[in-house]
Amino acid sequence: MPLSVASRALSTTSRRDHGRPAGPRRVALRLVAASGALALVLGGCVAGKVQSTPAEESSGSATAGGATAPSDLYAQTVTWEPCGEDECATITAPLDWDDATLGTIDLALERHAATGTDRKGSLLLNPGGPGQSGISFLSSAVSGIFGPEVLADYDIVAFDPRGTGASTAVRCGGGSSLDAFLTADVEIASQADLDAARARVAEVGAACLDATGPLLAHVDTVSAAKDLDLMRALLGDEKLNYLGYSYGTFLGATYAGLFPDKVGRFVLDGALDPSMTNDELALQQGEGFEKAMRAYVADCQAARGCPLTGTVDDGMAQIRQLVDRAKARPLDAGDGHTVNGSLAFYGIIVTLYDDGSWPYLTTALTEAITQNTASTLLQLANIYLDRTPDGSYTSNAMMAFTAINCLDYPVVSRSYDELLGFAEQVTAVAPTFGDQFALTAGCEAWPETSARTPAPIHATGAGPILVVGTTGDPATPYAWAQALAAQLDSGHLLTWEGEGHTAYGRGGACVSDAVEAYLLDGTVPADGTSC
């Protein structure tokens, strides 16, 4: 669910899919219930097997006290214990890799053991976000992504990155206040509106800092990449084998830049270009979602029963009118719930991660346009947000997304007039929802901001790295995969000509065969390979 990375995640509605992709949101939405109810589940990638005791929910605060040097942590004993069909473990990492006196944090791992006898090592998995739990992604990946030979040769290891899930996590409180921050319709039509939106970001950020403590300043991607090397060593692997989707490609590329001699088999699917600024991300992701929406509308109008009439431009206008109508007067979703403009937007955008989910968008639009009801639209929005119908959240992913992005991407603090000028640039290429990517309050009001300077990553000396790009990817446009593959000294690009976010596990046998030939034998696709 990938906004202007930091700013959009940080907007008062925290639009997680507009600046920094959350990914792979490959929404594989499936109808799994009878009786006409729409039960939607997210499909995804999975990782291999490493475990310890099931990690208790983190309080979000780091362990203070004695200084444990990073070199000592590389020598720690890891205890793996059964958890379901896998094994789980908790390891200890420095809160600050540059200052051991600040204490430690916990990182939760889960391992699905290799089924064969000729084990190659561990394969670590990151599903993206930032902020998504790798552990919660593991079972679906093992059952639906990896082929049997990969599962035979590798322990698939999932982990919750610092700040997320069962690891020491970002906490921001809960209840109606947090839900309002994430879902309220916020109009920014004046300097006063912008000031009020930034004040709300600052208020929520202060609550996160109070609940999370010093960790909030240390959930950046460089720190998470150093955690990856600690995991590699504790798993007993000379080199890191890694599969990263969406934001996970940025984490993987960052690792390769820091530890090129430790790069093993690396697959980076749905790539981010690490050299881009936050503004460039917002502009290009806005354009990516515009193109994906147009592809959906054309497909819908070519089939029977589409509620969108006229031309593709007409259909795009009708979708925007629906969101504006929901903002003016929230739609009835049944059982006392309503869908406002923000929820309507989320419910629409989440289906663009996978063209297999387009029929659910058609159902939602049919209900909303012809019946003035929004039951399906609300279910889709709740999937995007990891939200339950009562307004509570099943994970901390949305706020971890904000906290990580704000440390990774410097943002420009603009006046309202300056922000409006930038929004006009975005809406020029994304007229339907460009304002959702640009007219937001952002990380300039968050308590912890970025010192990083975006730059290319070359990873000189690393072994071959496989970058996978999808031509119709809305969240991580194909040009980003081309850019990353060109930047990496040992980058090789595999192209899938398809719609939606990421390719491996979704792009058919051609993609899977190429990725798994690399994972199993180190064979990279020939230059220009396209599926």
Q: What pLDDT score does 8 carry? A: 26
Residues near 192 by Cβ (< 8 Å), separated by ≥ 6?
Answer: none
- Is 4 a residue of the active site? no
pTM: 0.89
Q: What pLDDT score does 27 carry? A: 35
Cα distances (angstroms) measured from residue 483 to each of 35, 268, 448, 527: 47, 12, 29, 15
Of these residues, 17, 155, 269, 473, which one is catalytic?
A: 473
Q: What pLDDT score does 177 carry? A: 85
Comparing CA positions, the residue from 375, 349, 376 lying closest to residue 360 is 376
Q: What pLDDT score does 16 carry? A: 33
Q: pLDDT tens string for the chain (531 positions)?
A: 333 222 222 232 233 333 333 333 333 333 222 222 222 222 222 222 222 222 223 334 566 545 667 888 999 999 999 999 999 999 999 999 999 999 999 999 999 999 999 999 999 999 999 999 999 999 999 999 999 999 999 999 999 999 999 999 999 987 788 899 999 999 999 999 999 999 999 999 999 999 999 999 999 999 999 999 999 999 999 999 999 999 999 999 999 999 999 999 999 999 999 999 999 999 999 999 999 999 999 999 999 999 999 999 999 999 999 999 999 999 999 989 999 999 999 999 999 999 999 999 999 999 999 999 999 999 999 999 999 988 899 999 999 999 999 999 999 899 999 999 999 999 999 999 999 999 999 899 999 999 999 999 999 999 999 999 999 999 999 999 999 999 999 999 999 999 999 999 999 999 999 999 999 999 999 989 999
Rg (CA), the chain: 22
- Asked whether the beta carbons of 426 and 435 are under 8 A apart, the reply is yes
Q: What pLDDT score does 60 carry? A: 40
Q: What pLDDT score does 62 carry? A: 61
- Asked whether the beta carbons of 22 and 133 are under 8 A apart, the reply is no
Q: What is the pLDDT of residues 132-149, one digit of tens each?
A: 999 999 999 999 999 999
Of these residues, 11, 136, 246, 490, which one is catalytic?
A: 246
Q: What pLDDT score does 346 carry? A: 97
Q: What pLDDT score does 173 carry? A: 84
In angstroms, rounded to a whole number, what is the distance separating the alpha carbons of residues 147 and 141? 10
Distance of alpha carbon 260 from its chain centroid, rounded? Answer: 24
- Is 112 a residue of the active site? no
Of these residues, 160, 386, 501, 512, which one is catalytic?
A: 501
In angstroms, rounded to a whole number, what is the distance separating the alpha carbons of residues 173 and 195? 23
In angstroms, rounded to a whole number, what is the distance separating the alpha carbons of residues 330 and 241? 48
DSSP state, residue 64: -
In angstroms, rounded to a whole number, what is the distance separating the alpha carbons of residues 378 and 360? 12
Helix axis angle, 191-212 to 397-408, nearest 10° = 110
- Is 492 a residue of the active site? no
Residues near 180 by Cβ (< 8 Å), separated by ≥ 6?
Answer: none
Query: Residue 443 in 3-state DSSP?
Result: helix
Cα distances (angstroms) measured from residue 356 to each of 26, 500, 511: 9, 9, 17
Q: What angle do CA 43, 48, 53 make, to 5 degrees?
A: 105
In angstroms, rounded to a whole number, what is the distance separating the alpha carbons of residues 283 and 424? 10
Cα distances (angstroms) measured from residue 322 to each of 326, 338, 348, 351, 505: 6, 14, 10, 16, 33
Question: What is the 3-state composition of the chain as percent helix, strand, coil, each rounded to the nearest 5?
Answer: 45, 15, 40
Residues near 310 by Cβ (< 8 Å), separated by ≥ 6?
Answer: none
Query: Backbone dihedral region of 461: left (phi > 0), alpha (psi from -120 to 50 degrees) or beta?
Result: left
